[in-house]
Structure 1
Amino acid sequence: MGAPGTATVPRRGIAGGDSLDFVLLGAAVALVVFGLLAVTSAGSAVGARDFGDPWYYGKRQAVFAALGLGAMAVFARTDYRAFRRYVPALTGIALLGLVLVLVPGIGDVRGGARSWIGFGAFSVQPAEFAKFALIWTYAHLLDRHPDLVRNGSKAALAFGFLALVFALILLEPDLGTGTVLAASVLILFYVAGLSHRVLAVLAALGAALFGLLILAEPYRIRRITAFLDPWQDPLGAGYQTIQSLMAVGPGGVFGVGFGMSRQKFLYLPEPYNDFIFAIVAEELGFLGAMALLALFFVYLWRGVRAALRAPDAFGFYLATGFTSLVFVQVFINVGVVLGLLPVTGITLPFLSAGGSSLGITLAGTGVLLSVSRAARAS
């Protein structure tokens, strides 16, 4: 691995057009196609009810997928080190977006959270962009300041900035996205060499803070109690978990058939979004769900591989960070759908409907492909 900050940036992208990681690319494209089919099916009933068009969510997702694939291509074809000069700008835009979304009249409230900024018929989630920007930010910091994990004052500043971003996201409120971001950054610091003792202290503080945040909001307390026993409030806090399990269970081994879900007909809330994995399990069964998870496993494998083979520390941290974002989200989302974790509102990467999530995931995939190409060309 080369010395941090000494890599030469080619002017016309990375040499070697045949050095693309086609396994990672294939997994990403397969997940996008899987997601388009899943959103089209899962959103058909709601689309027909709300917009008179059962294809509504599928068509919107297709537009987002096209834009996201374009972003992935740009990042994949460009040396990731060429974007390093824009890290301060990315960080500033992320902070500005997190502040603006909290301003009444600018941020849109949906489902009780002020998490979107509207632009005509479309909207963006600043918290999603913040995840993308902060991976660049911390990869840059850990590369340029390798003593960050050993210098107490520097580490305090780094975690202080993370706490600021977490607090802004929490004000929306969006505890789930904040948790994903914090977990991914902690993974970065762990692989950078942060001591186990410091990690244990941070974990204890995080657990205490998480407990206080749950106690501070009655709806979060209800989610925890519903997680422990959803049937104590089957029409309230436990409703989503129960309906999710009622989708997964009947799917059996082979599923009820693509497009034949019953739970998507206004029984399961957000069937095309947070709980889309439940519809996949219902329609395609255990085998279909396992095939989807296998694609995520391939993505994780190639992401870790790209990180380990990165030609410099900056690439290593970038690949680790973007792979961690996907892994943490998949772990939490699937855990919620199966009733193994409390309901958190975390989307499933590549599959859940929404342009911000899909676009950021595909842009991060482009960065992974760029790091992988640099490793092969070096």
Structure 2
Amino acid sequence: MTLHRNVDTTLLLLTVSLTCIGVVMVYSSSAIMAAERFNDGFYFLKRQLFYALVGFIMMAVATYFNYNNWRKLAVISLLGSIVLLALLFIPGLGVRVGGAMRWLRIPGLTVQPAELVKLTLVLYLAHSLTRKKEKVRLLLKGYLPYMIVLCLLLGMLILQPDLGSAMIIAGVALSMLFVAGVRYRYIILTVLLTLPVVYFLVMQVEYRRRRIMAFVDPWADPFDTGFQIIQSMVAFGKGGILGQGLGIGEQKLFYLPEAHTDFIFSVIGEELGLVGVLVIAALFLMLVLCGIRIALHCPEPFGRNLAFGLSLLLGLEAFVNLAVCMGLLPTKGLALPFISYGGTSLVVSLVAVGILLNISNTLGAKK
């Protein structure tokens, strides 16, 4: 399917659909809470609409910005995102919310650097892997330099702390390296050496250990660590097959924490039921498959690496969020792309789709 200069309309319609669903669900899940806290039931809706407008404008720009030009910006954009991560630790600039320093206060807006890092790392890896070609199979000149960059980023994210984003970035980076031709034994060895570190970071930190215990048995502490996942399960249970109806859900009434952000999928499950859950999962699956299709049909290595990395990033974030809400993974503070409330996440996700659209546009123009 094509639309004006060979833009992939399937990918475009999927993105618009998910974003529109997100705007509706942000309002449904936040209106009462916003009225209580800010005396304005439209508080979060107005902001999400603004973020969506900015995101669609930037997506349109990315759609008609030749993807090969991103190679010139790959290194500098990654360095810029690292600087933003460092600025979080400067008093007065970093905003601490819920014990985590993940937001950077800039005059007029608040930015989450971790979301930018995800995009810029994919750009950098796509550029560097294309430049190195067969050298990526070498240990010293190919693999280790990427591990140094990755360790720097992961270390800064863990200091925030943001272990969820760190694991997403690690998963995307290692997958891109594997697809680009890095020897699988290097990756397996890296994972095995990392397991003790992950164990230490989780089990030796009180709140993370309690999250793992709550994941194993949430009913052991139903009013504290297990409260969030229990309320999420209750939401899905109340939803049944067809849901209680849009806007009628009860768990968002101060029962389910972070109902408009991390656990917005639980609100969807309660209000739109199993049907709504399956629709959202299907839309994400189709979106990722569209991205993978673009990668497979791209004859140029940079475009292929870039399309694969962006598709994997969006798909992995969506999968982890859905799994957390359904109690299949321990609780992590990760947004659901296109749907959760949040400006940086939404804008970055839309820019990622814009780049994918440009790659597909270029492919269509060459046919």
TM class by smaller structure: over 0.9
Q: How does 1:209-358 map to 2 (within 5 A)?
A: 209-358=197-346
1:191 aligns with 2:179: yes
Q: Secondary structure at the match of 1:18?
A: coil
CA 1:74 to 1:56, structure 2 compared with 1: closer, same or farther past 3 Å? same
Which letter does structure 2 place at the counterpart of 1:325? L
The match for 1:133 is 120
1:163 aligns with 2:141: no
Take 1:341 and 1:205, find their aligned partners in 2: how far apart are those partners? 22
Q: Secondary structure at the match of 2:101?
A: strand
The match for 1:201 is 189
Pick aligned residue for 1:97 from 62, 81, 84 = 84
Q: TM-score, normalised by structure 1?
A: 0.94
The match for 1:81 is 68
Is the CA contact 2:337–2:345 (under 8 Å) kept in the aligned structure 1? yes
The match for 1:61 is 48
Is the CA contact 1:102–1:171 (under 8 Å) kept in the aligned structure 2? no
Deviation at 1:325, TM superposition (A): 0.8
Q: Secondary structure at the match of 1:75?
A: helix
Which letter does structure 2 place at the counterpart of 1:129? L
1:122 aligns with 2:109: yes
Deviation at 1:360, TM superposition (A): 0.4
Is the CA contact 1:300–1:327 (under 8 Å) kept in the aligned structure 2? yes
Take 2:70 and 2:191, find their aligned partners in 1: how far apart are those partners? 32
Q: Please provide the CA RMSD for this pair.
A: 1.2
Which letter does structure 1 place at the counterpart of 2:198? F
User: What is the total number of aligned residue pairs between the two structures?
Assistant: 363
Is the CA contact 1:274–1:348 (under 8 Å) kept in the aligned structure 2? yes
Is the CA contact 1:31–1:350 (under 8 Å) kept in the aligned structure 2? yes
Is the CA contact 2:48–2:341 (under 8 Å) kept in the aligned structure 1? yes
Is the CA contact 1:116–1:126 (under 8 Å) kept in the aligned structure 2? yes
Take 1:243 and 1:288, find their aligned partners in 2: how far apart are those partners? 18
Take 1:282 and 1:190, find their aligned partners in 2: how far apart are those partners? 39
Take 1:246 and 1:66, find their aligned partners in 2: how far apart are those partners? 34
Q: Secondary structure at the match of 1:320?
A: helix
Q: Secondary structure at the match of 1:273?
A: coil
Take 1:21 and 1:40, find their aligned partners in 2: how far apart are those partners? 29
Deviation at 1:139, TM superposition (A): 0.4
Take 1:252 and 1:19, find their aligned partners in 2: how far apart are those partners? 41
**Comparing 54-63 with 267-276, which one deviates more in the overlay?**
54-63
Take 1:247 and 1:120, find their aligned partners in 2: how far apart are those partners? 38
The match for 1:70 is 57
Q: How does 1:353-368 map to 2 (within 5 A)?
A: 353-368=341-356
The match for 1:176 is 164
